[in-house]
């Protein structure tokens, strides 16, 4: 399915706004997630740093000897570990350097996040890490956790134990803010989409208005008439270039049309002159031979001379009549149809034109007694006469000849139909049937149908035909009402 330029511009702008909104929404969601990760990472680091400072203070103020074996007693003394956990709102797990759990701040707090024995991989990574800190990310029951592992040291930075902080990534507030932001963003983009639709509609209409004007002018361009140039006001440089090219083409087209028309007229007159010369030579030859023969055999004393003079005169008269018919045929073809049309009752005129034909197989019918059309009376009779003559010649060799002349109304126009059951028109001759001097008969000038077409089309009418070999032919003429 092909869309117009205006539709493509309109859809492209709407699609651009939709893609921009989807892209910004996606980037927003991604940015919020990244900020949430950074927030939880920084928060865990701050909590861990504060708890380590608190534990360091406890170790420095204890009366116990600071050693790996006593770290549990130091933090357990007077519930220090629970106090630290409550102050910082974080669970604490204390592991020995061997990875065995030694102490927990609250047995009921995050029960699924604490293992009795630390993973060896964590111990190894913690021992080799340059920052002496390891963070693990886990998901349990659709909840995300971070667990940090770091050393608890004395004032000489000797490791005493391993501090584990299980941290729940609570995204409730961030998700709520993201949802509210996306709702507001959607409302804004819906409003922008509405504005974009209106803007795209008027912009596409403005852009394509000039192109539509150009398209209409190009569609109306014809070789057989004078074409108007395009006059457009303030347009873009590209449109102006296109208009200028079209106007230049119209100038060149008019020049070419004048040259072509002149050439065609000259060619037509040359062909017509050849045809006239050929047709006139045909009767002149027997006339010359008859005169020469008469001169040789003329004998005033011959008693049969009056009869010979009569025969000679008849021969000349017949040839002169032939030349007269040739001149009349060319004269009729050359005459333009009358421009002064009148309102005619087509069935009545057609029936009158058929009165010159005596064949009983020529039938006439009319859909109505009165069907009016704007046409010249004499030209209508010429059209009917020529079409019926052609049909009559087509059925000359048919066993049961039939010609039907019918007048009807079709699509608000008067329609004359002449059909016969003659030999029909071959496929190779159908394209030539209306050409001047084309004929399939042994006699005639081949100007009848060309003259009919000229008459009909000059009065805004139409003529067409259908034909099948050895079946017959139907000619239809539509007259303007």
pLDDT tens, per residue, the chain with 481 residues? 566 667 777 788 788 888 888 888 888 888 888 888 888 889 889 999 999 899 888 888 888 888 888 888 888 887 888 888 888 888 889 999 888 888 888 644 444 545 677 888 888 888 888 888 999 888 887 788 888 999 999 888 889 999 999 888 877 777 787 788 888 888 888 888 888 888 877 777 776 776 777 767 777 666 656 666 766 666 666 666 777 777 787 777 777 777 776 776 667 666 666 666 666 666 666 667 667 777 777 777 777 777 777 777 776 776 676 677 666 656 655 554 445 678 888 999 898 888 888 888 999 999 888 988 888 888 888 888 889 988 988 898 888 899 999 999 988 888 999 999 998 888 888 877 777 654 555 444 445 687 788 888 877 888 899 988 888 999 999 887 7
Spell out the residues 6+ positions from residue 110 whose beta carbon is closer than 8 angstroms to its own: 91, 145, 166, 168
Q: Which domains are present in the chain?
A: 5-175 (3.30.450.20), 237-334 (1.10.287), 342-479 (3.30.565.10)
pTM: 0.40
Full 3-state SS string of 129-145: CCCCEEEEEEEECCEEE
- Tell me, rounded to whole angstroms, the distance of Cα 415 from its chain centroid: 37
Element (H, E) at 151: strand 143-153
How buried is 479 (Cβ within 10 angstroms: 0-12 exposed, 13-18 middle, 19+ buried)? buried
- Find the helix or strand (DSSP H, E) in which 390 lies: helix 377-394
CA angle 380, 381, 382 (to 5 degrees): 90
Write out the H or E segment, with its range, that includes residue 241. helix 237-297
> Do residues 205 and 186 lie in contact, with contact meaning Cβ atoms separated by under 8 Å?
no
Coil, helix or strand at residue 375:
strand
> What is the Cα gyration radius of the chain?
54
């Amino acid at each position: 399915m092909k869309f117009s330029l205006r539709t493509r511009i309109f859809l492209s702008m709407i699609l651009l706004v939709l893609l921009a909104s989807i892209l910004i929404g996606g980037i927003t969601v991604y940015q919020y997630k990244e900020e949430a990760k950074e927030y939880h990472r920084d928060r865990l680091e701050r909590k861990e740093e504060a708890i380590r400072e608190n534990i360091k203070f406890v170790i420095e103020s204890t009366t116990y000897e600071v050693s790996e074996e006593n770290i549990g007693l130091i933090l357990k003394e007077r519930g220090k570990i629970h106090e630290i956990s409550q102050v910082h709102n974080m669970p604490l797990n204390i592991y020995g350097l061997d990875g065995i759990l030694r102490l927990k701040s609250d047995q009921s707090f995050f029960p699924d996040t604490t293992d009795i024995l630390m993973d060896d991989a964590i111990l190894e990574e913690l021992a080799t890490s340059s920052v002496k800190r390891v963070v693990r990310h886990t998901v349990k029951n659709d909840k995300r956790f971070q667990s940090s592992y770091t050393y608890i040291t004395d004032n000489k930075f000797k490791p005493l134990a391993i501090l584990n902080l299980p941290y729940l990534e609570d995204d409730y507030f961030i998700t709520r803010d993201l949802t509210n932001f996306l709702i507001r963003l959607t409302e804004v983009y819906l409003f922008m989409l509405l504005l974009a639709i209106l803007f795209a509609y008027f912009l596409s209409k403005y852009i394509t208005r000039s192109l539509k004007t150009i398209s209409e002018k190009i569609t109306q361009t014809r070789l057989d008439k004078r074409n108007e140039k395009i006059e457009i006001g303030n347009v873009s440089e590209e449109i102006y270039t296109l208009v200028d090219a079209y106007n230049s083409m119209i100038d060149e087209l008019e020049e070419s049309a004048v040259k072509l028309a002149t050439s065609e007229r000259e060619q037509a007159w040359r062909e017509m002159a050849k045809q006239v010369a050929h047709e006139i030579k045909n009767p002149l030859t027997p006339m010359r031979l008859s005169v020469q023969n008469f001169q040789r055999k003329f004998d005033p004393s011959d008693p049969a001379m009056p009869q010979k003079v009569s025969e000679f005169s008849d021969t000349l008269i017949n040839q002169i009549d032939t030349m007269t018919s040739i001149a009349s045929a060319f004269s009729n073809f050359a005459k333009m149809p009358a421009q002064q049309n009148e309102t005619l009752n087509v069935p009545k005129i057609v029936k009158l034109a058929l009165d010159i034909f005596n064949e009983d197989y020529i039938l006439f019918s009319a859909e109505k007694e009165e069907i009016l059309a704007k046409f010249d009376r004499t030209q209508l009779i010429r059209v009917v006469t020529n079409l019926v003559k052609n049909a009559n010649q087509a059925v000359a060799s048919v066993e049961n000849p039939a010609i039907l002349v019918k007048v009807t109304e079709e699509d608000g126009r008067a329609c004359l139909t002449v059909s016969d059951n003659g030999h029909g028109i071959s496929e190779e001759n159908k394209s030539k049937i209306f050409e001047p001097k084309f004929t399939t008969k042994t006699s005639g000038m081949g100007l009848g149908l060309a003259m009919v077409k000229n008459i009909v089309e000059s009065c805004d009418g139409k003529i067409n035909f259908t034909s099948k070999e050895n079946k017959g032919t139907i000619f239809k003429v539509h007259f303007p009402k």
